[in-house]
Amino acid sequence: MPKKFDDEIESFIAKLVERNPGETEFHQAAYEVIETLIPYIADNNNYKHANILNRITEPDRIITFKVNWEDDCGDVQTNRAWRIQFNNAIGPYKGGLRFHPTVNQSILKFLGFEQCFKNSLTGLPLGGAKGGSNFDSRDKSEGEIMRFCQSFMTGLFHYIGKDTDIPAGDIGVGAREIGFLYGQYKRLSNKFVGAMTGKGLSYGGSEIRTEATGYGCIYFCENMLNHIGEGISGKTCVISGSGNVAIYAAEKAIDLGAIVLTMSDSDGFIYDLDGIDSEKLACIKKLKEVNRERIIKYTEYYPKATYHIGKPWGVKCEIALPCATQNEINKNDAKELIVNNVLAISEGANMPTDRIATKMLIKNKILFGPGKAANAGGVAVSGLEQTQNSMRLMWDRKKVDENLRDIMNNIHKQCVCYGQDKNLVNYVKGSNIAGFIKIADAMLAYGIT
């Protein structure tokens, strides 16, 4: 980064923080993008004169509403909910809904901001948004979850639609919740249209949607390795998480011949030196999805594996796949990855590596696929679901998977095009600039809106 831009970057971020006090996750996401865009915009006066950076870091609107619902005891409970409609310059707003007690406006703004660039990179006509609630489903009955979802959608449905804003699932919003949410949308609107994605196959969903983020993460990693003349087969992989993204990243990695050593939950991780194969992965799926067990239970079925408190980044590996949550890799974790000569990192989660760790990894010439590029597979298949809904068709798994792979290949090409940096590819720089150009050019075309 040329020193001459440092003051401009810091001034911009200081003003952004002043406008958005206390929103630390959003500040972090904005900083990571702005520090690569300001040098690029210096050579493109059209973007500067139109004040695109200020405009692109302000959401179009923030919808906040309360959700009242009745629990099984007949008592009324209240949660807070949001929909952040960030930017629709290139298409209707698109982004997931997250139900988790940690959800707040800052987290949703960071996710919505990232979503704009991610959706742009897919090449599909999709704007960026994010939403959710501080609702905790972990100790709730099926009936309580249904009543919450129905009340949530009653507050949201005025603001969404197939040409306006198309929500999907995220943490805490799986197939069950999407069914309840879409059922209420259909009931209130009297329309059967593609106003949500992640739907069940029996009512307009798409093949590969559940697997898409994890599969796409591996396809992007494979592209990075191929670009330097390496391959993924035979490489050792350390994976964090054991939700859908982690499970399906592991599935595709195993399918392509990689050796998966770890998976984790919020308590700790399992380390299987023999490798987690397809049979063992099926065991993890059952433990997590059916029995709702902690990952430590794996060691009862496979006693040669060991369980460890904390994060898995100290395990020696060639590929690291953070697939759990934001900021799970800090500078100390980055040091361990560097010492262990990790070759590539592909982010399955959103912003799982903090700014300092990201800079350290890139400085040490590690292939680093940022989330907005590497985990774009989920929204890519959501876009393909919308296409199938509009055409009143349903594609088979092979066709959807081929389309997903093509999209991830094209995202990689864009990153290489805009990320060249001293004979290396800076994928953070490449993804930020490539995602920005499409949105910014559309905003310029509309004039002052």
Which region among 1-5, 304-308, 333-337, 409-413 has the lowest average model confidence (pLDDT)? 1-5
pLDDT at position 2: 59
pLDDT at position 292: 79
Q: Whole-prediction pTM value?
A: 0.95
- Whether the Cβ atoms of residue 364 and residue 338 lie closer than 8 Å to each other: yes
Strands 259-264, 268-271: pairing is antiparallel
Strands 367-369, 344-346: pairing is parallel
Of 220 and 3, the one with more pLDDT: 220
Residue 138 — very low, low, confident or very high, per pLDDT cuts 50/70/90? confident
Burial track 200-223 (b if 16+ CB lie within 10 A, e otherwise): eeeebbbbbbbbbbbbbbbbbbbb
pLDDT of 1 strictly over 80 = no
Q: Other CB atoms closer than 10 Å to residue 23's CB: what's the count? A: 20
pLDDT at position 289: 77
Residue 421 — very low, low, confident or very high, per pLDDT cuts 50/70/90? confident
pLDDT of 291 strictly over 80 = no
Q: Confirm whether 3 is a catalytic residue.
A: no
pLDDT of 290 strictly over 80 = no
| Dihedral, 411, 416, 417, 419 alpha carbons, nearest 10 | 110
Residue 423 — very low, low, confident or very high, per pLDDT cuts 50/70/90? confident
**CATH number belonging to domain 212-369:** 3.40.50.720
- Whether the Cβ atoms of residue 180 and residue 142 lie closer than 8 Å to each other: no
**Which tokens is 184 given?**
């209420």
Helix axes 6-19, 24-41, angle to 10 degrees: 140
Fill in the amino acid letter for 189: S
Q: Other CB atoms closer than 10 Å to residue 95's CB: what's the count? A: 31
Q: Tell me the C-alpha distance between 255 and 335, whole Å.
A: 30
Across residues 196-224, what is the average pLDDT?
Answer: 97
Q: Tell me the C-alpha distance between 71 and 45, whole Å.
A: 56
Task: Choose the catalytic residue: 94, 109, 118, 130.
Answer: 130
Q: Do domains 61-191 and 212-369 have the same CATH topology?
A: yes
The pLDDT tens digits for 7-59 are 999 999 999 999 999 999 999 999 999 999 999 999 888 999 999 999 999 99
If you average pLDDT over every residue of the chain, what do you get?
96
Fill in the amino acid letter for 394: M
The pLDDT tens digits for 247-271 are 999 999 999 999 999 999 999 999 9
Q: What percent of the chain has pLDDT over 90?
A: 95
Helix axes 397-418, 427-446, angle to 10 degrees: 90
Helix axes 142-156, 175-189, angle to 10 degrees: 50
For the chain, which residues make up each domain, given as ranges? 3-55, 61-191, 212-369
Q: Please give the class, per CATH, of domain 61-191.
A: alpha beta
Q: Other CB atoms closer than 10 Å to residue 355's CB: what's the count? A: 16
CA 249 → CA 23, 172, 183, 387, distances in Å?
30, 19, 30, 25
Across residues 306-323, what is the average pLDDT?
Answer: 98
The pLDDT tens digits for 211-252 are 999 999 999 999 999 999 999 999 999 999 999 999 999 999
Residue 352 — very low, low, confident or very high, per pLDDT cuts 50/70/90? very high
Nearest CA to 16 out of 73, 67, 58 is that of 58
CA 82 → CA 40, 108, 146, 179, 218, distances in Å?
33, 8, 18, 20, 31
pLDDT of 170 strictly over 90 = yes
pLDDT of 331 strictly over 80 = yes
The pLDDT tens digits for 101-125 are 999 999 999 999 999 999 999 999 9
Terminal Cα distance for the chain, rounded: 32
CA 100 → CA 79, 115, 139, distances in Å?
11, 19, 12
CA 159 → CA 17, 156, 342, 380, distances in Å?
28, 6, 45, 22
